[in-house]
Amino acid sequence: MTDWSTLTDACGTAEHVPSLLDRFEADPNGVRSEVMDHLCPQLDTAFPASYEALPRLAQIASACGPEDLTSVLLAAGAIAACSPGLSEPDSPLTVYSAPIGVLHMLTDRHLRRAVEAGEYVDLLQSLLSFEGAEIWDRCLDGLHSGEYEVVCPHCGVNMFIVLGQDGYFCCTDDYALGEVEKSPLQPVRAQDLTGLPRRLFTRAVADGQEELAHGIPYLFGRTACPDCGTDFSVAERVVAGWTL
């Protein structure tokens, strides 16, 4: 039996967390923001009580209906994304591997039902977080928003990577304000994708997310800085920006 009074969340002692999770179970969509305020504020910080809540979140997810499941899976996914990697001693991903396995299975199933692209990307990131896939479990959202901000590896200028209805290009000025100098993105051929990029592409296609799938070869492709002409990997600059 967990002694919650010995654990902490974002507000101090976690003795109130069991009752908070009871309310979350009764109304996942209505209580999710409060749960996140206590267990994973700003979606980037977790606490001992956050990880201890994972078994209960797995139980809640297993019992709730499709209309509430997304809220539970995203809450658990945000917590898992904060965990040290599987290579770290006593990683919560290892300590709580059983409930995380349940959450992963439910997310995998629920992804196939997601229709809206934003929800799909959020769930896909949760799926990766339960697997311990660092970085990409937090920065796929640009595939939906259509934009990443990165820095040139040579001259240091800030750049926009644009993926979507406005085209597939790199620029250094706000492209929404008018004509700007653009460098086209050079996608990897779909058949040449390997590892995680190939898995993401194949999964998005299989789940009917064709627009998202179309952007993945560009995200893992190359382009050049419009200012200095330096060629670079788009994905490497996205990762570099996240790890700063």
pLDDT of 177 > 80? The answer is no
User: Other CB atoms closer than 10 Å to residue 124's CB: what's the count?
Assistant: 26
Domain ranges of the chain: 4-131, 142-243
pLDDT of 168 > 80? The answer is yes
Secondary element (H or E) of residue 26: helix 17-26
Give pTM, 2 decimals. Answer: 0.94
**Which pLDDT does position 203 carry in this prediction?**
97
10-53 pLDDT, tens per residue?
Answer: 999 999 999 999 999 999 999 999 999 999 999 889 999 999 99
Name the E strands within the chain: 8-9, 12-13, 147-151, 158-164, 167-171, 182-184, 222-224, 231-233
What are the two backbone dihedrals, phi and then psi, of residue 160, each rounded to the nearest 5 degrees? -105, 130
CATH hierarchy code of domain 4-131:
1.25.40
79-130 pLDDT, tens per residue?
Answer: 999 999 988 889 999 999 999 999 999 999 999 999 899 999 999 999 999 9
pLDDT of 159 > 70? The answer is yes
CA-CA distance, 47 to 9, in Å (whole number)?
5
**Which pLDDT does position 244 carry in this prediction?**
64
221-243 pLDDT, tens per residue?
Answer: 999 999 999 999 999 999 998 87
**Which pLDDT does position 112 carry in this prediction?**
92
The answer to whether the beta carbons of residues 148 and 122 sit under 8 Å apart is: no
CA-CA distance, 136 to 126, in Å (whole number)?
10
Tokens for 172, please give them: 């250094």
- The SS3 of residue 88 is coil
Mean pLDDT of 68-86: 96
CA-CA distance, 69 to 41, in Å (whole number)?
20
From residue 214, how far is each of 90, 177, 188, 219 by CA, in Å? 38, 25, 11, 10
Mean pLDDT across the chain: 95
Lowest mean pLDDT of 5-14, 101-110, 160-169, 198-207, name the range. 160-169
Confidence of residue 174 (pLDDT cuts 50, 70, 90): confident
Confidence of residue 211 (pLDDT cuts 50, 70, 90): very high
**Which pLDDT does position 243 carry in this prediction?**
75
User: Other CB atoms closer than 10 Å to residue 218's CB: what's the count?
Assistant: 23
**Which pLDDT does position 238 carry in this prediction?**
97
In the chain, % of residues over pLDDT 70: 99
Confidence of residue 178 (pLDDT cuts 50, 70, 90): confident
CA-CA distance, 205 to 211, in Å (whole number)?
9
Secondary element (H or E) of residue 64: none
